[in-house]
Amino acid sequence: MNTYPHPIIAKEGWPFLAIAFIAALLASAFLGLWSIPFWIIAIFVLQFFRDPARMIPQDTKAVLSPADGRIVVVGKAHDPYANREALKISVFMNVFNVHSNRSPVDGKIEKVEYFPGKFVNADLDKASIENERNALVITAANGQTVTCVQVAGLIARRILCYVNASDTLARGQRYGFIRFGSRVDVYLPLTARPLVTVGDKVSATETILAEF
């Protein structure tokens, strides 16, 4: 088991934290008790951008959750990014979840594709094909294809991805971030065995979604 090597606060959050806490301090100076809502907002921003250390399972057959959240889909679906029939597992993130995204497997990125789109509720299955999204097609260390798709949501309006085609990822490696509620879809070979069901709560990196 390896400790996930990232700071407790996501780097994407520092500008928002600075604005929120400066506003709260100014409100305290000029508004007294009326500044409480500003402090509540600042605390919310702080918890949203938390990025805690995670322990990484080393089982080579494991496909790890790329995000914190709740499982909303487990089933057969068409993977339009790798053009195949696949096992699809989707994780919905609400505004209270950690929003950094981690690689589900060790492997090489074959392609990265960004698609502009709508911002419907990411809890709906149509969000997978209608919303703004960014897809990674990965050849895992065992030769299998794994597709990992960041999907924007009703409130989430900013997908951040820091990797490119031909980059190599390690399981649990941080590769992106989605701001303010969203979804991540994972497409696996049909031979993969799911270890989660709809409604399960999962933790990025620490929860094993499936084995293949």
Listed by start position, the domains of the chain span 11-48, 59-211
pLDDT tens readout for residues 4-45: 455 677 777 788 889 999 999 999 999 988 999 999 999 988
Catalytic (active site) residue 182: yes
Q: Compare 187 and 53 and report the one with higher pLDDT.
A: 187
In sequence order, what DSSP letters do the residues of 12-34 get, joined into one string?
GGHHHHHHHHHHHHHHHHHHGGG
In sequence order, what DSSP letters do the residues of 34-72 get, joined into one string?
GGHHHHHHHHHHHHHTB----EE---TTEEE-SSSEEEE
The residue annotated as part of the active site, out of 90, 166, 182, 203, is 182
Mean pLDDT of 124-132: 73
Architecture of the CATH domain 59-211: Distorted Sandwich (2.70)
Contacts by residues 26-34 (CB-CB < 8 Å, ≥ 24 positions apart): none
pLDDT tens readout for residues 47-90: 778 888 888 998 989 999 999 999 999 999 999 999 999 999 99
Entry pTM = 0.84
Q: How far from chain centre, in Å, is Cα 48?
A: 13
Residue given tokens 């997978």 in the structure block: 128
Q: Compare 167 and 152 and report the one with higher pLDDT.
A: 167
Phi, psi of 113 (to 5 degrees): -130, 130
